[in-house]
Structures are given as C-alpha cells and as structure tokens.
A and B are shown apart, each in its own frame.
Chain A
C-alpha cells in the first residue's frame, strides 16, 4: 500500500500558487528527500499531508483524509516542523507525561532511554535547554512514537555539525526499520544523500524530478574532464558544466559510463549539483 498518494494537489494563497497540480506517490518503507528552493511548495505539501492546511485535489495519507481526520491520522504520523516548536514553558517530565497520556503509540520507556543518553534533566523547562538539546528532546519524543510515517521539515536547522550528524545517525540506527516511511526536507542536502532511498525535486508547486537513489546513481554521472577532452565531452550534451580549480566538471543524464571514463574521472554527482542542474534546466524551459 502507498503511504502517501496525491493526485492533482492544488493550493493557492491569493494569486500565489503554492501547489500546482502535484502528483505524488510514496511507498511504505522509503526515506524520501523532498528538495526544492524556498517557496517551491515543500512546506505547503507537507502541511497538506499533515492535515494542517486545506487543499484541492485528492490526497490520502495512510488511507486517511488528512484534513478531516487529522487527530486520527496523528496516531500513526509523527512530525518535527521546521523550527523548534516545543512549548518553552513545559518541563521535560511534563511533556513526557502528556504524550504518555494522549498518545496510544507512545512508549514512555523508550523515550526515557533516549533521554538517558543526553544531558537533559527531567525537571528542566524547555526554555532552559540549548537549541541542540531541544532538538534532542523532540527527537527522543518522536522516536518513542511507533509511527508509520515520520515527517521532518528542516529538522536540523540552526544546529551545529555534531548535533546534525547525531540526529540522522540515531534516526537511522534506532528508528528506521523498513516498515516506516520518512519524509525529510532540508537545505543541507549533502547530509542526507547517504540516508535517502528516494529523491524528489519540487519547484513552483510541481515535481520536477522523482527517482529512487539506485536510479539516481545509475542515471547521473559527473565527469572531471581532462582538458584535452573538453570539446569531446561537450559533444555528449551534458546537462550542466561547471569549473573547479580550472578543470571542467560536466554532469550527464543517461550517458554511457565507459565512454565517459575515457574522458576523465567519473563519479556519482552530489544531490546538490544535480539539483542546480535540474533547476537550471527548468529555468531555461520556463524562459
């Protein structure tokens, strides 16, 4: 069964179109990276999925209509929104108590175990914790929920490198188990490249690229071309060319790897480089 299925999802704020007939299908057990420039519609899409905003079109999340059944849906869905949203007045002990009280799938012992690995005191108020600790706390709470879908909207924003690394490590090691689905949006694309199973680029409210990571790796190649081969390489129609330390780096879509290897060093591009290339293409097409 698909975890999320959207057809013709539309949402406009006044004359600004945030979602322009978005089609989306996310299978269970995937870790999907949703990547797009600011204002591309990422957050709006996530808000629709989480039942936080009304939309036009068809949308089913875990078989439910998120707008009309948000409270039921949230038994199986957990999310961390783009900014620290834990109430600042609440104490650690209180927020654990509250979740244990209202959430049928919250495992208190699990949350306590995650918290035991941190320096967070049970009696502290959220406002007394550092930004990194608040994120640790939120993550401990969310990971103690036996959810089928976890949505992370810029979860590591404003965190230092140590916490960011830790965040994704514990998510993968302690939480993900192939029956859950995770959707992440972030601008720190390089952090999640090794984490994802699926990739989706969104721009102007539409999906401009969607593929699995295997597909991504077999389909796209980046070549650092030796100077004498630049003209030959350009003839193969790269989707992007950039310069680094005086060398040309060309990005190819569905090119023959052996042929490319004769022109220079071939490797899998970073998601960020592909993103720039794809966005460049759609910019060109728009013009």
Chain B
C-alpha cells in the first residue's frame, strides 16, 4: 500500500499553489490592468483601422496584431518575474518558519519536493500564462468588436486579418522555448534559496554583480554582461528566425525556427546546468532542518 509517485507529486504541486497564491493572482491582476488600458485605447480604434487600411497587406496585419503581441509579451515577462521570486523563496521559506520539519515527517522524498517546486516556473506558470494570454486576447478581440460595431468594413478587416490562432500556436512554441532557456536561472535561484541562511536575493545576485565588476575593472571587457543578456533574452534570437516585431505580428508562424533552437549549444549547456543546480538543491535539502 503505497502512494504512486505521481500522486505525491500532484499533491505537492497543489501544496505549492496553496502557499503561493500570487502565482496566479499576480498575472490575473496584471492582465486586468492591461485590459483596462486597452479599453481606454478603444476610442481611437476606428481611426487606427483607417490608417491601417493604407499600409498594405503586411503592414495592416502587423498593426492590427501588434497590441495582441505586446500583451502576450508583457505577460511572459511578468511570468518570468513571478517565477524568479517564487524560486528564490521556495526552499527558503520552509526553513525560515521551520515547517520543513513537518514536511520531512511525511513520506515524501526531497527529490519530489524540489522537483515539484522546480516545475512551478517550468511547467505550471507557462501553462497558466498561456491560458491567461489567450483569455486576454479574446477579451481584446471582443472589446475591439464592440468598438467597431456600426463600422462594417473595419470589423470585417479585423476578423479577417487578425492571426489569432497562429499567434496562439507561436505562443505555445515560445513558452516552451522560454521555459527551457530559462531553466538554469530558475535552478540557480532554487539552489541559492535552499542554501542561503538569509537574504537569498542578495546571495543570488551578488556573485553575478561581482563577476560583472571584476571583469570590467580587470579586463575592461564585457563578455559576462553579454553572456547574461544572452541567458535572459537569447531564446528570442535562437528560437525565432525573424525577430522584427512587425513581421512577427503579421506572420507569427513563419519566423519559428525550432531546428536552430535545438541545435543551439547554449540551450543544452543551460539545461545541464539546470539539472546540476536542481540535483544540488535536492542534496542540500536532505541536510536542512530550520534556520
């Protein structure tokens, strides 16, 4: 009579969501603010539709799709911030309030616990953010439709030209690419969270800042800064062939480049580091009691 590992994992995941309600509340709040901004912009929509009509096919599509792409992009950034702060606290909070002693009194392995925490930014948040983005885009379409009622041609153009489904498919691809690309960042934050006695945020960024300054002073170069930028936003250049915002908005699927992405060494090296960081966090938790 033993609980299947998937069930233990499932409940541990739910446990994370009970504890960290900001994981879903924060993006919903941001989404509502975005929508509110979009509502305000609605009074200029009819005139913008007229401008767009003069831009030619691609230009028109790009201009129509741009707000939808921008909303998606903003939500992705928000998810990254939430994921980073979540990881930083994930293994620290339970030691701070000593509840780790309670969790450890249960037949759940350290590996299950750490993996359930790691899957919040790697699986749960991307799924959640996908649903929220789709909901936001549908709301935006609904609002635009209402604003264009009585404006027959504008309404027709909007529904005909907006590549909403293609954008959704591109979004799935992008979310997977981003999660894989950022995995080492989350792994590093989890590790620091399990290691630091206090000020986990400081310990997470201090080595980074130190290396940055050291390199600048010692060699007057900025390779490390470039590397950091690549780690944060490299998924964009590696997973998409054409990063010009307008052509992406107009033809979302054309710029996907999965072959280039999976043949990027940075992806695999990053995943190796992520695995190493997470494995280290598991080992560290075995020995941890309270702070």
Contact = CB atoms under 8 A, between A and B. Distances in A.
Contacts of B14: 97-98, 101
19 contacts: A47-B289, A70-B110, A70-B286, A71-B109, A75-B107, A77-B105, A79-B105, A85-B98, A85-B100, A85-B290, A87-B94, A88-B97, A88-B99, A89-B18, A89-B19, A91-B18, A101-B3, A102-B106, A102-B108
Contact of B106 (A87, A88, A91, A103): A103
- Chain B's interface size range is 20 to 34
Of B2, B15, B105, B107, most buried by chain A (CB within 10 Å of CB) is: B105
A102 B18 contact: no
A136 to B, nearest CB: 15
Contacts of B227: none
Interface in A88-102: 88-91, 94, 97-99, 101-102
Nearest to B98: A85
A52 interface: yes
B107 A98 contact: no
Given A85-B100, A87-B94, 5 more contacts: A70-B110, A71-B110, A75-B2, A101-B3, A101-B14
A196 interface: no
A24 B12 CA distance: 35
Contacts of A75: 2, 107
Given A86-B99, A90-B19, A104-B3, A53 B287 contact: yes
Interface in B1-41: 1-3, 7-8, 10-12, 14-15, 18-19
Of A79, A88, A102, most buried by chain B (CB within 10 Å of CB) is: A102
Contacts of A81: 98, 101-102, 105
Contacts of B231: none
A80 B106 CA distance: 11
Contacts of B101: 52, 81, 85
Contacts of A85: 97-102, 290
A45 interface: no
A98 B8 CA distance: 9
Contact of A71 (B19, B98, B107): B107
